[in-house]
Amino acid sequence: MVNVGALYERLARLLAYHEHSAAAVRAQIRDLARGEADRVPVRSLGVTVRDAADYVAQTHDADRRAARQTRRRGTSRSVIARRQQTAAALAQFDRQKSRRPEDLPIKVSGLGALVRRGYLQPHAGGYVRTAKAYHVTPRPTA
């Protein structure tokens, strides 16, 4: 059961706590109506209404948001080179016959990541290639 007296006191304390902010907002509304808002600071924030309006325009304007978004850049040469090395390493593995990394003609490391991502499967002390396609360059979106 709710103690009504305690709830009333708690709400009264909450109202008193926020009364200062409400008074500042009321003062700004009054100053806006008089046309004096540019030079009167918001008492609780220390900024003018013009500053607040500029901030809102900057942060909520759709064109500015779109301009802030970073454009998607192409994949760097080093990433493409590393992916080409990985593709060459994957080409050394067969779909049926298990191969150990030590038996390959090229040095292959980091096979755990390829197993976790589904490009290789451990089999009979070695690895076999799965049917999952490996893309060197990013696939086009859309």
**Counted domains in the chain:** 2
Instruction: Tell me if 26 is assigned to some domain.
Output: yes
Instruction: Tell me if 92 is assigned to some domain.
Output: yes
Which residue, 43, 68, 93, sits at the end of a domain?
68
* Side-chain half-sphere exposure of 84, counting CA atoms within 13 A: 7
Which residue, 37, 68, 99, sits at the end of a domain?
68
What domain range includes position 41? 4-68
pLDDT of 71-112, one tens digit each?
556 677 888 888 898 898 899 898 999 988 888 887 877 888
Cβ atoms of 138 and 75 within 8 Å: the answer is yes
DSSP state at residue 35: T
Same-domain check for residues 103 and 122: yes
Same-domain check for residues 61 and 10: yes
- pTM: predicted TM-score of the whole model, two decimal places: 0.45
Same-domain check for residues 8 and 49: yes
Closest CA to 49 of 64, 71, 27: 27
Q: Tokens 């192409």 label which residue? A: 74
pLDDT of 104-121, one tens digit each?
887 877 888 899 999 999
